[in-house]
Amino acid sequence: MVDVSIPQLVDWLSRFRDLVTENRAYLTELDSAIGDADHGSNMARGMGAVMDKLGAATPATADELFKTVGMTLVSSVGGASGPLYGTFFLRFGTTAGAVSQLDAAALSAALHAGLGGVLARGKAEAGDKTMFDAMNPAIEALDAAIAGGADVAAATSAAAQAAAAGRDATEPLVARKGRASYLGDRSAGHLDPGATSTAYLFTALAAATA
């Protein structure tokens, strides 16, 4: 089973930056329907700042890499997305530890820790119409693939597909958390912007580990 290297992890972040930047207007359009109309601009600005920081000096270990990512997002992104994604990456790095490679089990453990950070921050549950609705199925699919003997590339591909399905499943839901919950039934019929950017996160991970 092939390990995931620091360059691949940086590539993951770079691809995520590219996806949220390319889809900035779309994410903002989604957020304008049920949120503050700033998710696209916030994520593009935050991930741009992350890659600028990593371009100046890339840490050699996963814990330092994702500490840099998390702290940069928390300090540069407004709204809920900065603290949520920042906490995700901070927890990811802490669990990954001072290593230069992650095997499948370590990648899973780090992703679970990141999800735990999102839960601690957002207190969301399945069906609340949040990023959890894309992230949790993605990690479950990754774990199932690994348990079935899949390599990292196949496992992250399964995770990306599950994240996309989780994103799509948010459309009919009525939001129960965050700004969107203020709209009540009017929040139904719209994709959740956080779940949409989370799907990009796992699409980027699959591409970086293919």
For residue 73, the domain's CATH number is 1.25.40.340
**Rounded percentage of the chain residues whose pLDDT exceeds 70:** 89
- pLDDT category at 182 given cuts 50, 70, 90 is very low
Q: Over range 157-169, report the average pLDDT.
A: 96
Contacts of 80 (CB under 8 A, 6+ apart): 122, 178, 179, 194
CB atoms within 10 A of CB 108: 21
State the chain's mean pLDDT as an integer.
90
In this structure, which amino acid lies at residue 44?
A: A
Whole-model pTM? 0.92
Whether the predicted pLDDT of 29 surpasses 90: no
Helix, strand and coil content of the chain, in percent to the nearest 5, comes to 75, 0, 25
Contacts of 158 (CB under 8 A, 6+ apart): 141, 142, 144, 145, 150
Distance CA 208, CA 210 (A): 6
pLDDT (tens digit per residue) in 124-155 = 778 667 899 999 999 999 999 999 999 999 99
Whether the predicted pLDDT of 14 surpasses 80: yes
In this structure, which amino acid lies at residue 120?
A: A
184 within 8 A of 156, measured Cβ to Cβ = no
Range of the domain at 13: 4-208
Tokens of 114: 């990141």
Three-state DSSP state, 97: coil
Distance CA 136, CA 50 (A): 24
- C-alpha distances (whole Å) from 89 to each of 94, 173, 178 are 9, 27, 21
Whether the predicted pLDDT of 94 surpasses 60: yes
Distance CA 38, CA 89 (A): 21
Residue written as tokens 């899949």? Answer: 150
| Domain count across the chain | 1
